[in-house]
Structure 1
């Protein structure tokens, strides 16, 4: 269990460190566990620090992007891999201002959801190629494109993942 959490956090930190190399774009990454709590008869979600995650835990992975320059940044692309010990669930709630694209080939290519792929199946003894929709749990990376990030502006982007 600890090894799984360590590998998730290590991959997040490495991705964040690489993305910040001499750029006016400051990126910070946070990983929180999503807990469901009931208070006063209402069920709500609460984000708590992610520690010792076990299979089935739902996590929120957020990237905070800040323009540290005095000029607007245009068409900023921020890619983030889905950690190997997890699978993608859904975009984080209440986050907008950027276009999200997804990858099923480790971040080589990206496209808007829903993604499609071709599979070959056998029907009546013949091989037939069909186009099918990719399940979000197969997404391996997400890339956001921010049309414009004003000087000093901060934007939060993120998604939910589940520990395998």
Structure 2
């Protein structure tokens, strides 16, 4: 089965509240391929894949740029996990900004590990238990950039797998 992706990036909060936001976002989705080069296993990235197959891993990286003349504080950057994919892990080697996750399409966010309440039957009785949410259940990722300096650029991202 081949899938095509369409994504929406949301920028909210202080930067978005301004009439002409100095913050710009550029999302690049790349297909991750593991290959052997000179006997060593390495990864190669194919930007903007037109089609993907179940099991393919996609690297999503958003470049956040403040083109304004002053620093901005607490800039939220939100990326939904595309339908027909599952969240895998944060992208390593990018800027270290604390991420929060949502399991309800961005209505609520919390730092990992997320917890949820489930009702189970034990000894014939319904019991409510709190269990850890698997990362594959995440629907949205949000980073809050504590300060984005004037003319500063940073990269944020994560990996997903096509279902």
Tell me the TM-score normalized by structure 2. 0.91
Query: 1:107-141 CA distances to partner (integer Å, 9 max, x unpaired)?
Result: 00000000000001001101111110000000000
Counterpart in 2 of 1:35?
Answer: 33
Which residue in 2 is equivalent to 1:148? 147
Q: Is the 8 A contact 1:97 1:146 kept in 2?
A: no
Say whether the 8 Å CA contact 1:65–1:154 is kept in structure 2. Answer: yes
Tell me which stretches of 4 or more aligned residues in structure 1 moved more than 6 Å. Answer: none
Q: TM-score normalised to the size of structure 1?
A: 0.90
Q: Which runs of 5+ in 2 are unaligned?
A: none
* Equivalent residue number for residue 50 of structure 2: 51
**Secondary structure class of the residue paired with 2:69:** coil
Measure how far apart 1:46 and its partner are: 1.1
Give the number of equivalent residue pairs.
Answer: 156
Higher helix share: 1
Q: Which position in structure 1 is the counterpart of 2:160? A: 161
Q: After superposition, where does 1:14-93 map in structure 2 within 5 Å?
A: 15-16=8-9, 19=11, 22-49=20-47, 50-93=49-92
Aligned to 1:127: 126
Structure 2 distance, partners of 1:62, 1:112, is 20
Shift of the alpha carbon at 1:55?
0.7
What is the CA distance between 1:36 and its match in structure 2? Answer: 0.2
Asked if the contact 1:72–1:151 (Cα under 8 Å) also holds between the matched residues in 2, the reply is yes
Counterpart-to-counterpart distance in 2, 1:65 and 1:99: 15
Contact 1:115 1:134 in 2 (8 A): yes
Structure 1: give runs of 5+ residues left out of the alignment: none
**Aligned: 1:112 with 2:111:** yes
- Tell whether the 8 Å contact from 1:117 to 1:131 is kept in structure 2 after alignment: yes
Return the alpha-carbon distance in structure 1 between the equivalents of residues 123 and 84 of structure 2.
38
CA displacement, residues 54-81 of structure 1 (integer Å, 9 cap, x when unaligned): 1110000111000010000111100110
Instruction: Return the alpha-carbon distance in structure 2 between the equivalents of residues 52 and 104 of structure 1.
Output: 26
Contact kept? 1:62, 1:158, Cα under 8 Å: yes
